[in-house]
Amino acid sequence: MESECVELLPRVFSVLGDAGQTVVDDTCLEKLLDCFRGTTENETELHILQRIPCLTNIIVNVSKQKDIHPNILSFIMKLTGLFAASENYFIQLEDNGIMRHLFGNPKKLGTGAWEEATVRCGWLLGIQNMLQHEAVIEFLYKYDCIDEIIRLQEDPSIFVASTASQLLADILSFSLQHSKHAALGSSSTIQLSNKVTVLHSTNWPDYISPITGHIEDFLKSDITSNVQQALKLLSKVSGTRHPVAVILLWPKIEESVELLLKGDLTGIGQPLAELFLNVSRSVPSEVLELKFWPLLGLLLRSMNQIEALTLASGILKLKNCPQSLRMQAVTTLFQPLNFIIAVTSIQTPEDTVLLDVSSDYRVDIENCLSRKSTCINLLCQILSYLWELLQMSLQTTELPFKALMKSVVTVLRLCIGAAIPITSTVVNISRHLIGCIKVQRGGIDVLGALPQWAAGIEEVDCALTLLHDYVSNPDTDCTVLKKSLQALFRWMSHCIEPVNSHVLEPKLKEFLHGDFMSVMKKRLFDVHWEIRDSTLEFLGQVCFQFKGVESFCQLLGSCGIPHLVLELLSDPESYVRASAITALGKMNYLSPKWQMLPNENSVTAVKVNILSYLLHILNQDTEGFPRRAAIKVLADWLKNSHILSSGELENFIPIILKIGSNDLDWEVKVHTLELAEAFIDRSVSNLSISPCAVLMSNSTGSTQVNVFLQTLCEGHQRSLVHAQLHWQGARNLSAQVFGNKRYSTTAEVQRREANPLLDNKGLPRFSAITVQHIVPGIRQVVQEFREGLQELEKDLDATEHMEKTWESVFNRLEILQFPIHYSWGIVSYLDKVKSTPELRKAYQEIAPLVVRENIRFSQSVPLYNAYKALISENQQLNGIQLRILNSSLRAARHGGVQLNGQTKARFNDIQLQLANHSSKFRCGKKQ
């Protein structure tokens, strides 16, 4: 914590400690607490307390006051807890009686205060904060606090209740971890299993017994809510830092759990399932008791249908569960779908049924499916669990994918009434499902996740037809339509994967050449903007993905969709306009192939138009989204111009940069920068091929970029530079600007090619950098730095009496310093992590040069004066800038800028010697 803060604190606390003052704003208390929490991570608690004596004062004072504001009391409790995490301080506070007063017996605080939920919460969190040593637990036991915490689990406020049970879980696992017997075994699993047998409950410390007793009592209780509470607590124990605690507890509770399992499960099924899942997730299976898995199986069998689904999907996600149990879970999860397939299929269901169905389940399922609400609920649950499972790549291979596909398709067909019901059961189910958006959403999601798992030619056919139905159905809900298009995109992309393409591509072609394109056209002019937007997004995605597929390109070019998209550029909804622009941008990737088409003229006309349209939007559109999209598309084109061969774009660059830099929207500006970067990159890549050509382009485009960047850096658009700083990181920008200056000489490019150490465009090319690069490379950057610095100093001297700006000093400095920092940084990093005798030799050779240059830099009087001028002139600098400025000033002073004559020479001498010594010392240590 910095000294300025420390100075402020006494005053802050005097306000807090004064009961007469009201502090209603609890966000600032929370933030103050955050600040202390941050400090305790870096410094030890005692150290802080010594530095800030008023902390102890406030704790002592507040604990003695009666009528303190609940928010402040709660704050003090949490704060005390934070510092009492240090055992010494805890003991000190307890000796003073403060601990007893604040945390001992809550009733003493006065009932009024205790009635406030925030005070109870503060009390619990305070204890939780200090729970780092055993003294706390002994203290809690001594003052009967544990009973109070147990009671607070039933608190009316959910915040308090959940904190209380979390605290209990923490106490339990903490004390089991730290009890003497547990300390004997280390945490390796073999010893753990020994420990489980060794550690008998009789040896447990006394203070655990209230909690374990409470759990045991509640597990045996007749009242469902009590049982629930105990189970939840146990689940939480298995989620703490020391989850094995639950295994130590297991022998004590096993009997009651077993009894519970065999009894009525209403209301306790869910918490039981959660407990079992948590335990099997957090405890290595070697330690688990043998009876554990059979019990879990029993639970799965005896739960009701909907609750069993949660457990089943949980089991499938476990890594360590036995195969039989996994099979049982699969069965449970699939049974309802199974049932639907069985009743809907016309042939004898034998070949389609995925798994054997036990007859007693059928009744349950049939009941569920016969009522509308349960039917929808059941299907939604299953679908969302399936979707989750499909998202996980591992292990899911065991699922019967073909059957899964079939059943999902059946359900989705029922949802739009495309399936023909034959039996009364199906009529009933389809009546529930028709138009049910909830099930549709879930089903489409699952369908969209399926192509990578099950995609033979039959499935592809089936999925494409179904999705076509959904997309063309006018009743389809906006969200469902969006999901359908996304799913369709996945299936389509699957078809053109190289492994499948020879089989599936004809199928896809057939599909696309059907009436799909006309459906798309209709959808592009839907009354809902959501649908127009989703369709455009889909088209954009497809165009990009299929840019290599000849037939698709031709189809799209000839079907007239590009023209429709162009029309949408004047849509009333700005979101749609933006998506239309993006889609057009993606479509342009196909356009080279359009030239082979008969109606060539119209297409090229469109192409030329697009550019002018985009410029028009960039210039005229009143909303930000379309302008952002337009500039993004332009930047993207420029980046990929080798594919797009869009020669005419280049002529527009000056205009685009001009419009972009004057735009009011910050993101447009950011993307304009990207465009500029792409342009610079391109010019450079041209450079290396033929230097002459560049000199030409240099005079046209690059000067424009130069002007543009200058307006950015030196003009009044500081906010833009900021946006850029935040957005891409400071280095990127300076690299760009720096690069821009350097790129204009061919020598620069060659140099970059020659010495990878100097290539500061992206990440360091460590694999290419060798020791031979170090001396010449560093010498070069030092040389350049020296020249640059002299130039800067000259400029600063010349403008000594004029007002300095941030841009004219620090932006130039950043540009100047970056190459040397970058390259020298790599060298010293290599010296630290991959040192060799050769490297050390090179390092020693070149280091004095760098040190000397550094001394010169820090003692630069013109710069120092410029800093001082900046801070004295009333500049509108923000916090970050001020901090940079202050630290530069400090560095200059520490670097000896104020010294002169002999003292200065002596100082420099010492500096050099010091560098020498440290360098020698390092070499000595390593050799």
Partner 1 sequence: MPEIKVTPLGAGQDVGRSCILVSIGGKNVMLDCGMHMGYNDDRRFPDFSYITQNGRLTEFLDCVIISHFHLDHCGALPYMSEMIGYDGPIYMTHPTKAICPILLEDYRKITVDKKGETNFFTSQMIKDCMKKVVAVHLHQTVQVDDELEIKAYYAGHVLGAAMVLIRVGSESVVYTGDYNMTPDRHLGAAWIDKCRPDLFISESTYATTIRDSKRCRERDFLKKVHDAIERGGKVLIPVFALGRAQELCILLETFWERMNLKAPIYFSTGLTEKANHYYKLFITWTNQKIRKTFVQRNMFEFKHIKAFDRTYADNPGPMVVFATPGMLHAGQSLQIFRKWAGNDKNMVIMPGYCVQGTVGHKILSGQRKLEMEGRQTLEVKMQVEYMSFSAHADAKGIMQLIRQVEPQNVLLVHGEAKKMGFLKEKIEQEFSINCYMPANGETASIVTNPNIPVDISLGLLKGDSSLGPVPDSKKPKLMHGTLIIKDNNLRLVSPEQAVKELGLSEHHLRYTCKVQIQDHHSEQDTLNRIYNHLKNIMKDYPIQHLPDGSVMVESILIKISAMSDDQSTKDVLVSWTYQDEELGSYLITLLKKGLPQSVAL
Is residue 380 a contact point for partner 1 (CB under 8 A)? yes
Is residue 734 a contact point for partner 1 (CB under 8 A)? no
Structure token pair of residue 886: 């202050």
Answer for which of 135, 353, 462, 478 binds partner 1 (CB under 8 A) is 478
Is 297 in contact with 311 (CB distance < 8 Å)? no
Location of structure tokens 């105990």: 230
Query: Which stretch, 18-26, 199-207, 504-512, 690-698, contacts partner 1 (CB under 8 A)?
Result: 18-26
In the stretch 738-757, what mask flags binding to partner 1 with x, by CB under 8 A?
--------------------
HEC sequence for 219-282: HHCCCHHHHHHHHHHHHHHHCCCCCCHHHHHHHHHHHHHHHHHHCCCCCCHHHHHHHHHHHHHH
Quick one: 88 or 479, whose CB is closer to partner 1?
479
Least distance from partner 1 to the Cβ atom of residue 615, Å: 21
Answer for which of 10, 14, 18, 26 binds partner 1 (CB under 8 A) is 26
Q: Which of residues 272-291 bind partner 1 (CB under 8 A)?
A: 274
Query: Which stretch, 159-167, 356-364, 411-419, 849-857, contacts partner 1 (CB under 8 A)?
Result: 159-167
Residues contacting 400, CB < 8 A, separation 6+: 330, 334, 354, 355
Answer for which of 114, 544, 575, 907 binds partner 1 (CB under 8 A) is 575
Is residue 534 a contact point for partner 1 (CB under 8 A)? yes
Query: Which stretch, 58-66, 131-139, 152-160, 212-220, contacts partner 1 (CB under 8 A)?
Result: 152-160
Is residue 726 a contact point for partner 1 (CB under 8 A)? yes
At residue 922, φ and ψ (nearest 5 deg) are: -65, -45
Q: Measuring CA to CA, how many Å separate 24 from each of 65, 70, 132, 314, 904? A: 18, 10, 31, 45, 57
Quick one: 291 or 726, whose CB is closer to partner 1?
726
DSSP state of 348: -
Is residue 372 a contact point for partner 1 (CB under 8 A)? yes
Distance, in Å, from the CA atom of 568 to the CA atom of 570, rounded to the nearest integer, reads 5
Q: Which of 527, 537, 431 is nearest to 484 (CA)?
A: 537
Distance, in Å, from the CA atom of 231 to the CA atom of 168, rounded to the nearest integer, reads 13
Is residue 723 a contact point for partner 1 (CB under 8 A)? yes
Query: Which stretch, 26-34, 340-348, 495-503, 820-828, contacts partner 1 (CB under 8 A)?
Result: 26-34
Q: Which of residues 759-818 bind partner 1 (CB under 8 A)?
A: none
Least distance from partner 1 to the Cβ atom of residue 892, Å: 20
Length of the chain: 927
Distance, in Å, from the CA atom of 580 to the CA atom of 534, rounded to the nearest integer, reads 10
Is residue 622 a contact point for partner 1 (CB under 8 A)? yes
Quick one: 315 or 504, whose CB is closer to partner 1?
315
Q: Measuring CA to CA, how many Å separate 722 from each of 302, 718, 726, 804? A: 62, 6, 6, 19
Structure token pair of residue 533: 């937007």
Quick one: 42 or 876, whose CB is closer to partner 1?
876
Number of residues that bind partner 1 (CB under 8 A): 47
Least distance from partner 1 to the Cβ atom of residue 721, Å: 12
Residues contacting 833, CB < 8 A, separation 6+: none
Is 223 in contact with 234 (CB distance < 8 Å)? no
Q: Which of 242, 249, 252, 237 is nearest to 183 (CA)?
A: 242
In the stretch 816-855, what mask flags binding to partner 1 with x, by CB under 8 A?
----------------------------------------
Distance, in Å, from the CA atom of 515 to the CA atom of 469, rounded to the nearest integer, reads 11
Quick one: 722 or 841, whose CB is closer to partner 1?
722
Distance, in Å, from the CA atom of 217 to the CA atom of 211, rounded to the nearest integer, reads 10
Say if residue 46 is exposed, middle or buried (CB neighbours under 10 Å; 0-12, 13-18, 19+): middle
In the stretch 479-498, what mask flags binding to partner 1 with x, by CB under 8 A?
x--x----------------
Is residue 196 a contact point for partner 1 (CB under 8 A)? no
Distance, in Å, from the CA atom of 559 to the CA atom of 521, rounded to the nearest integer, reads 9
Structure token pair of residue 3: 């000294």
Query: Which stretch, 156-164, 173-181, 211-219, 821-829, contacts partner 1 (CB under 8 A)?
Result: 156-164
Query: Which stretch, 20-28, 39-47, 77-85, 179-187, contacts partner 1 (CB under 8 A)?
Result: 20-28
Q: Measuring CA to CA, how many Å separate 682 from each of 27, 208, 698, 728, 753? A: 51, 71, 12, 20, 16
Answer for which of 191, 320, 640, 719 binds partner 1 (CB under 8 A) is 719
Quick one: 594 or 810, whose CB is closer to partner 1?
810
Q: Measuring CA to CA, how many Å separate 394 from each of 322, 417, 567? A: 16, 35, 46
Least distance from partner 1 to the Cβ atom of residue 613, Å: 22
Least distance from partner 1 to the Cβ atom of residue 159, Å: 4
Quick one: 160 or 369, whose CB is closer to partner 1?
160
Is residue 527 a contact point for partner 1 (CB under 8 A)? no
Is 708 in contact with 658 (CB distance < 8 Å)? yes
Is residue 390 a contact point for partner 1 (CB under 8 A)? no
Is residue 730 a contact point for partner 1 (CB under 8 A)? no
Angle, alpha carbons 281-282-288 (nearest 5°) = 85
Quick one: 372 or 852, whose CB is closer to partner 1?
372
Is residue 363 a contact point for partner 1 (CB under 8 A)? no
Terminal-to-terminal C-alpha distance of the chain: 40
Q: Which of residues 656-685 bind partner 1 (CB under 8 A)?
A: 664, 666-667
Sign of CA dihedral 28, 33, 38, 39: positive
Angle, alpha carbons 918-921-926 (nearest 5°) = 130
Distance, in Å, from the CA atom of 586 to the CA atom of 606, rounded to the nearest integer, reads 14
Is residue 157 a contact point for partner 1 (CB under 8 A)? yes
Report the amino acid identity of residue 406. Answer: K
Least distance from partner 1 to the Cβ atom of residue 265, Å: 18
Location of structure tokens 């004590």: 252
In the stretch 49-88, what mask flags binding to partner 1 with x, by CB under 8 A?
----------------------------------------
Distance, in Å, from the CA atom of 781 to the CA atom of 42, rounded to the nearest integer, reads 37
Query: Which stretch, 154-162, 418-426, 831-839, 858-866, contacts partner 1 (CB under 8 A)?
Result: 154-162
Least distance from partner 1 to the Cβ atom of residue 376, Å: 8
Q: Which of 459, 466, 463, 467 is nearest to 483 (CA)?
A: 467
Least distance from partner 1 to the Cβ atom of residue 389, Å: 14
Is residue 24 a contact point for partner 1 (CB under 8 A)? yes
Least distance from partner 1 to the Cβ atom of residue 130, Å: 22
In the stretch 883-912, what mask flags binding to partner 1 with x, by CB under 8 A?
x-----------------------------
Is residue 151 a contact point for partner 1 (CB under 8 A)? no
Quick one: 731 or 856, whose CB is closer to partner 1?
731
Is residue 28 a contact point for partner 1 (CB under 8 A)? yes
Is residue 20 a contact point for partner 1 (CB under 8 A)? no
Is 487 in contact with 471 (CB distance < 8 Å)? no
Q: What is the DSSP string of 871-908?
A: HHTT----HHHHHHHHHHHHHHHHTTTT--HHHHHHHH
Least distance from partner 1 to the Cβ atom of residue 154, Å: 12
Structure token pair of residue 281: 């997730």
Quick one: 224 or 878, whose CB is closer to partner 1?
878
Contacts by residues 221-227 (CB-CB < 8 Å, ≥ 24 positions apart): 224/266, 224/267, 224/268, 225/267, 227/260, 227/267, 227/268, 227/271
Site for partner 1, rule CB under 8 A: 4, 24-28, 30, 117, 156-160, 162, 274, 310, 372-373, 380-381, 384, 437-438, 441, 478-479, 482, 530, 533-534, 575, 622, 624-625, 628, 664, 666-667, 719, 722-723, 726, 878-880, 882-883
